[in-house]
Amino acid sequence: MAKPDDLILQLLKIMASALKNLSQYDESTIPSAADRSFGIVVAEWNTAITHALFQGCWDTLVQHGAKEENLTVIQVPGSFELPAAAKLLLANRTMDAVICLGCVIQGETSHNEYINHAVAHGLTTLSIASNVPCIFGVLTPNDEQQALDRAGGRHGNKGVEAAVTALRMADLKHSLKQGGKTRIGF
């Protein structure tokens, strides 16, 4: 028979893995996308992964009411190009949020660190400067399996989560513009 300590450990492991999969969410709490427009920027590197992220993202937006004509999709060579493409998009179209999807797999050199930091910094700066939420949907795995686990595998699909974040942030932006409400996002 398993000892109590073992049982607690098993329970903690189950809870930890459940918590890692944020793709399971309460759909009723997510704001509608019906009147919103979104940009989706997708990096070509590791296409199998980024296209799985894209699929999850697209399906989630549509499932929550987004109209296809209000979704602009751009493909860029690599993740490093995501912030620049997001900025170009915002310079030419009105968007409620831009979702950036990529996958930078760790290799033998430290290229991944430079790219990841640059993208994270670029998207943060752009979000703040433009007042349009730019969502970081970039996987930063150590290997391909970790990427697969997060692109529709055992840790969910981070493209779905990026879409949910975009919906929530777009709603936050509109709620603040309209004024009135003092508790937003609860």
Residues with catalytic function: 111
The region of 5-13, 74-82, 154-162, 168-176 touching ligand RBF under the rule CB under 6 A is: 74-82
Q: Which one, of 112, 86, 101, lies nearest residue 138 by Cα?
A: 101
Q: For ligand RBF, how many residues bind (rule: CB under 6 A)? A: 14
Among 62, 65, 78, 153, binds ligand RBF (CB under 6 A): 78
For residues 166 and 38, is the Cβ–Cβ distance under 8 A? Answer: yes
Which of residues 63 and 142 has its CB atom nearest to ligand RBF in the complex? Answer: 142
Among 43, 97, 100, 167, binds ligand RBF (CB under 6 A): 43
The region of 3-11, 72-80, 86-94, 154-162 touching ligand RBF under the rule CB under 6 A is: 72-80
Among 80, 90, 147, 164, binds ligand RBF (CB under 6 A): 80
- DSSP annotation string for 47-82: HHHHHHHHHHHHHHHHHTT--GGGEEEEEESSGGGH
**CB-neighbour burial class of residue 55 (10 A; exposed 0-12, middle 13-18, buried 19+):** middle
147 binds ligand RBF (CB under 6 A): no
**CA dihedral in degrees (130, 136, 138, 139; nearest 10)?**
160
Shortest spacing between CB 48 and ligand RBF, in angstroms:
12
The backbone torsions φ and ψ at residue 156, rounded to the nearest 5 degrees and listed phi first, read 80, -160
Which of residues 100 and 163 has its CB atom nearest to ligand RBF in the complex? Answer: 100
Among 81, 149, 161, 171, binds ligand RBF (CB under 6 A): 81
Shortest spacing between CB 78 and ligand RBF, in angstroms:
2
Q: What is the C-alpha to C-alpha distance for residues 9 and 121, in angstroms, rounded to an integer?
A: 37
Where in 109-138 is the site for ligand RBF (CB under 6 A)?
111, 115
Q: What is the C-alpha to C-alpha distance for residues 42 and 49, in angstroms, rounded to an integer?
A: 10
Classify residue 150 by its DSSP letter.
T
Binding site for ligand RBF (CB under 6 A): 43, 45-46, 77-81, 102-105, 111, 115
